[in-house]
Amino acid sequence: MTDTQIPPAAPAEPGAALLEAGRFFRPGTPAPDAHGVAAFSWYACSPTRVRHPYVRGVLLEMYWEAKERLRDPVLAWADVQSDPERRRRYQRARGKGGLVRASWDEATELVAAAQVHTIKTYGPDRVAGFFAAPAMSMVSHAAGARFHALIGAPMLSFHDGYADLPVASPQVLGDQADVPESGDWWDAAHLLLWGSDVPVTRTPDAHWLAEARYRGQKVVAVGPDHAGHASFADEWLHPHPGTDGALALAMGHVILKEFFVDRETPFFADYVQKFTDLPFLVTLAERDGAYVPAKFLRASDLGPEGEGAEWKTVVLDEVAGRAVVPNGSLGFRWTASGKGRWNLELGATRPRLSLYGSEDAAGVEVLLPRFDTEGGAPGQGRGAVVRRGVPAMKAGGARGPLVTTVFDLLLAQYGVARDGLPGRWPASYDDADAPGTPAWQEAHTSVPAATCVRIAREFARTAEQSAGRCMILTGTGTTHWFHSETIHRAVLALLQLTGCQGRNGGGWAHYGGREKCRPMTGWATLATASDWSRPPRRMTGTAYWYLHTDQWRHDLCTADVLASPLGAGRFRGMTGADCLALSVRSGWMPSYPTFDRSPLELGEVFGDPVARVVAELRAGTLKFACEDPDAPENWPRVLTLWRADLFGSPEKGADHFARHLLGTHSSPRAEEAPEEVRPRDVAWRDEAPEGKLDLLLSLDFRQTPSTLVSDVVLPAATRYEKHDLSSTDLHPCVDSCAPAVDPPGQPRTDFDTFKALAERLSEQAVGHLGVRKDLVASPLQHDTPGEIAQPGGVASDWKRGECDPVPGRTMPDLTVVERDYTAIGAQFSALGPLVERLGLSTKGITLLPDEEVEDLRLLNGVTDDGRPRLDTAIKAANTILALSGATNGRLATQGFRALDARTGQETAHLTDEHEGKRITYADTQAAPVPVITSPERSGSEADGRRYAAFTLNTEHGKPWHTLTGRQHFFLDHDWIHELGEALPVYRPPLDLHKLLGEPRRGPDGQPEVTVRHLTPHDKWSLHCEYQDDLFMLALSHGGQHLWMSPRDAEAIGVADNAWVEAVDRNGVIVARAVVSHRIPPGTVYTHRAQERTAAGPKAETAGRHGGLRYSPARLILKPSHLVGGYAQLSWAFNYLGPTGNQRDEVTVIRRRSQEVD
Amino acid sequence: MRPMAQIAMVMNLDKCIGCHTCSVSCKEAWTDRQGMEHVWFNNVETRPGQGYPRRYEDQERWRGGWRLNRRGALKPTAGGRLRKLAGIFSPPELPATEDYEEPWTYDHTNRAGAPAHGDLDPVAERARRQASDKVRNEFEQTFMFYLPRICEHCLNPSCVASCPSGAMYKRAEDGVVLVDQDRCRGWRMCVTGCPYKKVYFNDRTGKAEKCTLCAPRIEAGLPTVCSETCVGRLRYLGVVLYDADKVTAAASVPREQDLYEAQLDVFLDPEDTRVRRACEAAGIPDDWLAAARRSPVHALISKYRVALPLHPEYRTMPMVWYIPPLSPVVEALTETGHDGEDARNLFGAIDALRIPLEYLAEMFTAGDVGPVRSALERLAAMRSHMRAVNLGEDPDPSVSAAVGMGVYEIEEMYRLLSVAEYADRYVIPTAAVGDARRLEESALTQGCSLDYEGGPGSGGDGPFGRGSGRKLLPLTPVEKFHILGERRTADHTADVEET
């Protein structure tokens, strides 16, 4: 044997810990067991490890000089900031080295000084924090977020900015990314992997795929390239990138025709009747001699108004033959009379799915938009309208509104004909001109029509046979598109029509970006500091970057080019920035900084600050900051990143970040918008500001693209060097991180760093800040009564006089919060009194953890004023666990009782087996601990079953958190109608040539090729490793690479491994080509999270170092994402909001000189 | 009959996702040091592809393994002992650093010569000669699977036969093939001799090194590190009994295509009472026999016959076997106009696999598609049977019967391939007490473990004291541990005094 070697230390025994967790798997199911990511050990002492605090040298010298003079950190910082020349000097040095070592003391003093100065001068909402995916390290996240919440600074969302947030999820399901655990893949009889390459992105769980296949599961992969999952699958469909929606619609066409119209499938019919909005009545509005679908028919349309009548939707009862208001809609959720009736019980009511064949109904022609035609200058298929027919009748007597059902509209939209209805219908599956047919989709996707029909049939047949055990896994492949929600809605429709949602082994398994904080309530309490003050400021990341990196100034995509040919012209003259401003002032989306004045100033006016703000807004003397984002008083000033590589990973438009936010050198090539496409309501300044940010702080354990541009870098402990909690949507457990080694040098845990910052800030606040009153504006929030603020989804703009500005109704809610800035350190380290005084709310259910607070006093010890201590990461972890239903049986039961009171159903028994269970941090250290079924989620884990979302809904009559209380096919908000997306519809990828003047795709005569530029995950970036790991670089191609097809490579004379550049108007990437026949012609791949520290030579195009893979991307806002204040279309953090998008991009690829530097 | 026992491995290629966790954990455990930068005892290759080191399967060039001479006797391809002796000072046929890949240095220039994608796969070349239109590099015809590889721990190891110093040996206790570091003289003949290129040369120490099957773990009843960390759960470890008397004859059968069956014939059935008695007589411990009866490796190789040897034509009698990848089968059949889900059509589909049978046969059966087809048919039948169970239907017994299996047997195979937990996948007897002593001694170069300076007794440099045993073992003394710790946290190396 090689006896010079020390035998490897035995790793943790055969996953003894996981075997423990495995006991909760029923026999005959493959249980989880040990596996690990060995390569992490590289980081313990890698050359890129951050070992000490660093400050940008030029800044530190200026600060020292000023401090020497002024003897006060805050005044010293103010002095540097007050001099534009000095300010620009260190800003221009960002990203160019020059970080020097500082002591912890110096570094925290400087950071605290910057924060105090900013709060004092501009207001706390000019400070912000950013962190990605809290579930992986809840304590780390909560620590920083708590610090920001206590000082009144916004936390920025990540799920949307990463483009991972599926907007369809709230739209259709009223919930965000509630998905089955991976063990439930096993339960599926049919699995469609649609744009989700599980072996690469969900590596540790991919074994379930192979195992389930042996159990006779049929596996179909849909993805443009021959990726890992294609090797697994029985069939591989490769539609053209971004055309997936057409394939899904055509599959829906086949299912509707063969399983609903040609023959009725009782299992399906029963399901859609109970659990979807298909039987609900929709009013029809007259338009050009025909009709268009308008709004859901509500109780208020029919008669005298009762409580919540504007929120009670209506069906036609087959038995009684009249309109009936069934339980479960939003009108029952927040009203006193709805108590015990917010449920899915239909009683004797039999909702009629279709009016077809009813005596009172007659066929009328409806107009529906289509976007797949070559149409108009913007290339968005404008002007095309489909004429089809639905059976309609007058509701509530001859003078009542003309109505039809959602189901009838759906058949019209999908082009499924029934005899006797007016309109133009496809002749057969082979009718390629009619939207919806298999032949039509073939023209768009290249997937043969016969294959589409066959797969759809198999899918539905299996669903019928297995009682709903068909599952569709989606991921970033379907999500990173501008029109992603239209893809997802068409995909979701397949599952809803076949009765698969809310089943073990069935339903939508969407994995992308967001992990699941299992102990949600406790984590959120700490993270929002809602134990001390409410509400916290939480901001949509995408909108923040769109405004503050000035991408809005480069946005040529006006809102009305996206509008439906049947729209009412609502977006006329509006840009993305205008839509955002309207959304903000209507209370739909949050916006921080909020006003063009400090919220401390607004909170401290004489009299009623709220009334004063409303009056000033009405008078126009006070403006929203987003209406003039380039005004210096509206800039963000201090930004802190921790456990998040903002500049390396999620951001789109990297060069805009560099120029406008950071004020350093960049290579943006985009022109600003010409006058005719500039915003209507948002101020345009001639000079775009450069260098808005005073201070960028990063906490990280390795050098990343973000640390390279930061002013202060604080060394962080890795997950193997700190105490923390972690959980994921894939596994039903709470797990711990615990120190396995000591970090090298001076790293601290994120918890300790923020604790130190909080204490330092409190110190410096004396004399500069003291106790202040802060006026917080917050949007109308989902799962609160705020979601019934704007009935009917009618968009009214108070600024244009369409309604009155009323806080919490037609504009954001306004609250005055008192903050003692000298006590931030003390509050950080103690659990505040609002926990037991006001209770903790999650998804509309309020828990009262009074006993838990008592227990925490004993467990954590108390402060001088008797509050439980939170001064260590372990105490924070224990507090998170104690305050959540998922980890505290008593609270789970309490929550279910509260839910039962509202629904009138019986669910509290689901926690019987665990009511006495209290999971502590020590338990999670011994073994990952399976969580308790809790009303914080929509599925049951009772009795050893795998977690599947929405089983509480299908099995216990609990409504979905939507308008109708059911899953929605139909969305009737004004803005959704304006976009023509009231029903699932196919919207092709953006035509960027027509929209933004990007080159056309295809060879253009030059030794260049213009291609679709996709940015998927690769094997070893981001998800389980970073790309700069030595072993991983050695095993892979290494460095920055770009995959392309042999045909495209040949066209530009590129051999495998040659240097190429990918260029568009936003930026440039320099990479080595990987030429592979696995990539379809016309498409290139740049994998996510390739590290600048491992690659990135200078580009010929700009002469500067090439960017990262999102350099060519940019932010464009879609108005439908900005809708709010209306049922499930209401904002919540990481639930709904504008998303980034990057797959619509096209770039030019060319061979470059093979000499690089 | 001369029964012997070996720990062998089966990998199910259907389940490999190419994550390389095995490679990295092995690297961390065994080869993360100077002189070994290019070495991966465990590697994962994308197939089709060139492999690691590049084109190692091209024995025309590398001259590994065995050949039959004119008299039908086995001879190392690289030449017999006489020829080796004659050329002992001329360098043997060795892969160069670039064939292993230059170590990553954050310097792009060394990657410039990275291998081109596309052809250059010797297996594809051979398969193409046999069935020219099936193995193509076209988007629509793309196929791909991963092949993880460790040392084969062969029954008839050509590396051992190649070693002029007698430094390489196959351990009698468990069949592990090892390099005695003290006896290795760095001739590198073993590197040439191994057709799998799984013996590596450490240019720092000037000695050969190779996968040890994680011998220290195996001895303690633990799976190898690559198995322990395997994310796809595709590895199986267990005891295989074989008749040592039959090895040479089996490796010498004239037709390459007969080598698979010949090797199966070498294996002994642990359920056979005569075999058990012979084992006992041969001194194979009882717990090893018990483990052999529960061996998942034996089941997959001999009972269910779904695992196949990698390149049997090298005549080394490899002991790491592979279940060929099944997918994707339905699509291919559907293209021929049949219902791919219909069990009756399932077997017809095997010939139309996306991964051409011919390619797999070149890897596992010296080009004979028969055994590959039959292994895949069993897997397909299992899926079809289990689909019925999954959907709550009565399984059609003719499906399992068609592949010569009973209903319960096919469900047991399913359990082993699908549900099997850790303890079912790794059935490893610990080294028995008697053997333990011999094994301990084998770690020292010769003689008794107590035979060191100062004689047997307690204290001093005893086997359990500092550095244990002879000074030949450069173990880290305790005080160094603290120096290492200090160095890790110090700002400059000079801050820590080397003692």
- Domains of chain B with CATH codes: 1-102+114-431 (3.30.70.20), 451-495 (no CATH)
Residue A282 touches chain B, beta carbons under 8 Å? no
Of A76, A82, A145, the closest CA to residue A111 belongs to A76
pLDDT at A431 (0 to 100): 96
Enumerate the residues of chain B whose CB falls inside 8 A of the CB of residue A215. Answer: 383, 386-387, 389-390, 414, 418
- Choice among A443-452, A626-635, B440-449 with the minimum mean pLDDT: B440-449
pLDDT at A254 (0 to 100): 98
Of A65, A15, A951, the closest CA to residue A469 belongs to A951
Which of A203, A214, A1035 is nearest residue B17 as measured by Cβ atoms? A203
**What gap in Å lies between CA B377 and CA B404, rounded to an integer?**
10
pLDDT at B495 (0 to 100): 53
For CA atoms A640, A644, A647, A653, the dihedral sign is negative
pLDDT in tens, B368-395: 999 999 999 999 899 989 999 999 999 9
Which of B118, B179, B417 is nearest residue A2 as measured by Cβ atoms? B179
Of B292, B392, B233, B216, the closest CA to residue B3 belongs to B292
In this predicted structure, the answer to whether residue A328 has a pLDDT above a threshold of 90 is: yes
Mutation pick from B231, B446, B468, B471 vs chain A, by most beta carbons of A within 10 Å, is B231
Cβ–Cβ gap B488/A45 under 8 Å: yes
Of A353, A355, A381, the closest CA to residue A368 belongs to A381
Give the DSSP letter string of B340-390. TT-HHHHHHHHTT-SS-HHHHHHHHSTT-HHHHHHHHHHHHHHHHHHHHHH
Residue A397 touches chain B, beta carbons under 8 Å? no
In this predicted structure, the answer to whether residue A465 has a pLDDT above a threshold of 90 is: yes
Cβ–Cβ gap B24/A236 under 8 Å: no
User: Residue A3: pLDDT band by 50, 70, 90 thresholds?
Assistant: very low
pLDDT in tens, A467-498: 999 999 999 889 999 999 999 999 999 999 99
In this predicted structure, the answer to whether residue A10 has a pLDDT above a threshold of 80 is: no
pLDDT at B156 (0 to 100): 96
Beta bridge pairs of residue A1059: A1072
Residue A2 touches chain B, beta carbons under 8 Å? yes
Tokens of A763: 């110190």
User: Residue B118: pLDDT band by 50, 70, 90 thresholds?
Assistant: very low
pLDDT at A17 (0 to 100): 41
Cβ–Cβ gap A35/B230 under 8 Å: yes
Which of A1, A6, A211 is nearest residue B178 as measured by Cβ atoms? A1
Q: What is the CA radius of gyration of chain A?
A: 28
Mutation pick from B222, B327, B393, B424 vs chain A, by most beta carbons of A within 10 Å, is B327
**pTM of the complete model:** 0.92
User: Residue B466: pLDDT band by 50, 70, 90 thresholds?
Assistant: very low
pLDDT at B481 (0 to 100): 57
User: Residue B406: pLDDT band by 50, 70, 90 thresholds?
Assistant: very high
Name the packing angle between helices A138-151 and A873-882 (round to 10°): 90
Tokens of B248: 């040479």
Cβ–Cβ under 8 Å, residues A704 and A645: yes
pLDDT in tens, B28-73: 899 988 899 899 999 999 888 888 998 999 998 889 999 999 999 9
Q: What ipTM did this prediction achieve?
A: 0.91
pLDDT at A12 (0 to 100): 36
Cβ–Cβ gap A232/B327 under 8 Å: yes
Residue B477 touches chain A, beta carbons under 8 Å? no
Residue B106 touches chain A, beta carbons under 8 Å? yes
pLDDT in tens, A142-196: 999 999 999 999 999 988 888 889 999 999 999 998 999 998 999 999 999 999 8
pLDDT at A234 (0 to 100): 86
User: Residue A1137: pLDDT band by 50, 70, 90 thresholds?
Assistant: very high
How does A880-896 read in b/e, with b if 16+ C-beta sit within 10 Å? bbbbbbbbbbbbbbbbb
Which of B137, B212, B419 is nearest residue A30 as measured by Cβ atoms? B419
Cβ–Cβ under 8 Å, residues A116 and A761: yes
**What gap in Å lies between CA A1014 and CA A991, rounded to an integer?**
15
Bond preceding residue A668 cis, omega within 30 of 0: no
- Taking only residues 22 to 41 of chain A, the set having a beta carbon closer than 8 angstroms to any beta carbon of chain B reads 22, 28-31, 33-39, 41
Instruction: Provide the percentage of residues in chain A whose pLDDT is more than 70.
Output: 92
Instruction: Find where tokens 């109704």 sit.
Output: A809
On the 0-12 / 13-18 / 19+ scale of CB atoms within 10 A, A818 is exposed
pLDDT at A489 (0 to 100): 98
Cβ–Cβ gap B21/A11 under 8 Å: no
pLDDT at A951 (0 to 100): 96
**Residues with Cβ within 8 Å of residue A595, at least 6 apart in sequence:** A602, A613, A622, A623, A624, A625, A777
**Residue B174 to chain A, least CA–CA distance (Å):** 13
Q: What does residue A927 show for φ and ψ, rounded to 5 degrees?
A: -170, 150
pLDDT at A32 (0 to 100): 65
The size of the A-B interface in CB pairs under 8 A is: 252
pLDDT at B336 (0 to 100): 54
Bond preceding residue A805 cis, omega within 30 of 0: no
pLDDT in tens, B280-304: 999 999 999 999 999 999 999 999 9
**What gap in Å lies between CA B262 and CA B239, rounded to an integer?**
19
Instruction: Find where tokens 């951001």 sit.
Output: A651
Instruction: Provide the percentage of residues in chain B whose pLDDT is more than 90.
Output: 56
Residue A1094 touches chain B, beta carbons under 8 Å? yes
- Choice among A832-836, A1083-1087, A1093-1097 with the minimum mean pLDDT: A1093-1097
- Taking only residues 315 to 344 of chain B, the set having a beta carbon closer than 8 angstroms to any beta carbon of chain A reads 325, 327-331, 334, 340-341
In this predicted structure, the answer to whether residue B485 has a pLDDT above a threshold of 70 is: no
Cβ–Cβ gap B139/A1056 under 8 Å: no
Residue B181 touches chain A, beta carbons under 8 Å? yes
In this predicted structure, the answer to whether residue A525 has a pLDDT above a threshold of 90 is: yes
In this predicted structure, the answer to whether residue B408 has a pLDDT above a threshold of 80 is: yes
pLDDT at A334 (0 to 100): 96
- Choice among A736-740, A1153-1157, B432-436, B489-493 with the minimum mean pLDDT: B432-436
Enumerate the residues of chain B whose CB falls inside 8 A of the CB of residue A1045. Answer: 139
Cβ–Cβ under 8 Å, residues A217 and A193: no
pLDDT at A1067 (0 to 100): 75
**Residue B48 to chain A, least CA–CA distance (Å):** 12
Tokens of A881: 């666990």
Cβ–Cβ gap A1077/B390 under 8 Å: no
pLDDT in tens, B178-197: 999 999 999 999 999 999 99
User: Residue A35: pLDDT band by 50, 70, 90 thresholds?
Assistant: low
Enumerate the residues of chain B whose CB falls inside 8 A of the CB of residue A31. Answer: 421
**What gap in Å lies between CA A1021 and CA A1040, rounded to an integer?**
12
Q: Which residue of B has its CA nearest to A213?
A: B383
Residue A1153 touches chain B, beta carbons under 8 Å? no
**Residue B274 to chain A, least CA–CA distance (Å):** 34
**Residue B292 to chain A, least CA–CA distance (Å):** 21
pLDDT in tens, A232-278: 888 899 999 999 999 999 999 999 999 999 999 999 999 999 999 99
**Residues with Cβ within 8 Å of residue B73, at least 6 apart in sequence:** B252
pLDDT at B488 (0 to 100): 63
In this predicted structure, the answer to whether residue B335 has a pLDDT above a threshold of 60 is: no
Q: Which residue of B has its CA nearest to A7?
A: B216
User: Residue B489: pLDDT band by 50, 70, 90 thresholds?
Assistant: low
In this predicted structure, the answer to whether residue A402 has a pLDDT above a threshold of 80 is: yes
Cβ–Cβ under 8 Å, residues A50 and A707: yes
- Choice among A4-18, A768-782, A927-941, B85-99 with the minimum mean pLDDT: A4-18
Angle A74-A78-A82 from CA coordinates, rounded to 5°: 175
Looking at per-residue confidence, does A226 or B330 come out higher? A226
Enumerate the residues of chain A whose CB falls inside 8 A of the CB of residue B45. Answer: none
User: Residue B333: pLDDT band by 50, 70, 90 thresholds?
Assistant: low
pLDDT at B231 (0 to 100): 87
Residue B227 touches chain A, beta carbons under 8 Å? no
Tokens of A240: 């053209």
Residue B455 touches chain A, beta carbons under 8 Å? no
pLDDT in tens, A947-994: 999 999 999 999 999 999 999 999 999 999 999 999 999 999 988 777
Residue B230 touches chain A, beta carbons under 8 Å? yes
pLDDT at A19 (0 to 100): 42
Average pLDDT along chain A: 90
Of the ranges A49-53, B102-106, B134-138, B451-455, the best mean pLDDT one = A49-53
Residue A467 touches chain B, beta carbons under 8 Å? no
Residue A933 touches chain B, beta carbons under 8 Å? no
- Domains of chain A with CATH codes: 54-164+521-727+747-799 (3.40.50.12770), 1008-1151 (2.40.40.20)
Instruction: Provide the percentage of residues in chain A whose pLDDT is more than 90.
Output: 70
pLDDT in tens, A278-295: 999 999 999 999 999 999
Cβ–Cβ gap A214/B205 under 8 Å: no
Looking at per-residue confidence, does B63 or A1111 come out higher? B63
pLDDT at A1094 (0 to 100): 62
Average pLDDT along chain B: 83
Enumerate the residues of chain B whose CB falls inside 8 A of the CB of residue A34. Answer: 228-229, 422
**In Å, what is the CA distance from A257 to each residue of A410, A417, A418?**
11, 8, 9
Residue A214 touches chain B, beta carbons under 8 Å? yes
